[in-house]
Structure 1
């Protein structure tokens, strides 16, 4: 199942329910360019995420770091880390996405010793899974097997999935990462989420840099540095991009018009909205509206 427009709340927390009927696990194949935005927008969730790229390659950003993941490679993305993905070139990137509740990885008796320290570590936002490393290759194989089990639903497949998850976690921790815990890193991530939350709550209103900085308890200059480090763009550039992202669903409504949509998402000029939309989406809002209308009629 492809999630083309997963829902996120005002904190960027993904609202998709990551579970099968019985298990707190979800596994699905994602084609990046089929997402409504053309990429997987910035979000986070409590679940651990494992990725296996089956076709093409993509840029993944996790917190402040950016990494290219190629066909056959994968990622472990830790709980509560901000992340996004964009296709590299026109590679038609497709990846398996496995999301797992941390409490389900190991039994309650083992969780405190072997899981909690890893999800709380501040130096482990992600691990790059490269097949030439035996521990990583074992994880990638199990991701593939879990995907097959969920598709095929053989008898007792839930138990088989549980066994694979235990195997995945054992291979992840035998990698030997020395865990670190820095309170300043925790605070930095909290402040970034607070600023993003404020933008997502107030995007339809007039927004000033001072407002965003205040939401994170930062000075204007520190606010700018945070956005440059995390998102590789200015705070106001992010506001514009987010407004365009929010306008996409509105444009798909048959009764909507471009001017109304522009003002609904916070632009105070239709021409400015059209200009920014064209630069972001490589087409005008009206062309996008017509394209989506024809796409839906197929």
Structure 2
């Protein structure tokens, strides 16, 4: 599917060409480079693809409430944004969550240090310290660095295995270490949406974080843009074992992808895993 960025670049190019033509048309260079041939087949094909893409997005937006059938009614979703996540994508998905009858419990912003290999020592030390303040059975002692920090984040935003005070303490500690910025007001929920950013993260780090989140929540859905599903973070994630525990959706930079993401969230209430979107191996849309 052609991205909106491609549409914008194409439109800008057309407007620039028209403006240059106006300037040259009235001067001595008006006859230079004149091309009286009709619009090329290639340009027509691009225009048709653009119209088809808009139609798909318009259809998805209009059909979404019927497809959702209120399946997120009385369900709240916690959103975790990775570094570089597009705010418009996050807002678009949040609006679709509400259209499905759900709500957003809070948005957590993962900071670059959380997914930076050079900050592993910080992540490991903080995770070890925080574990000492929890009951022994909350997080396994042998959990790896990023699995452990993912579980800590998970119990803080959605788990019922820790008290409200313990959850608040974890959030404050993560914020103090500049690893995760928490919302001022948040309630704990069973569903977590992770929105990937434009900056590639280490596959092992991202996989560890998501493994931890999946271990402490009912369902996790990971959304990325069209490019991430082709060769970016989402593509790498789908090759990891954690792909059996979290659902992945690409093309979240389009309305079709955002609707698909919310359908995956509804599905994750009962079924975990699954690869959906333009390059998804389990089909374009999870309708079941």
TM-score normalised over the length of structure 1: 0.23
Structure with higher strand content: 1
Say which structure is richer in helix: 2
Q: What is the TM-score normalised by the length of structure 2?
A: 0.24
Larger Rg, first or second structure (1 or 2): 2
Structure number with higher relative contact order (C-alpha < 8 Å, ≥ 6 residues apart): 2
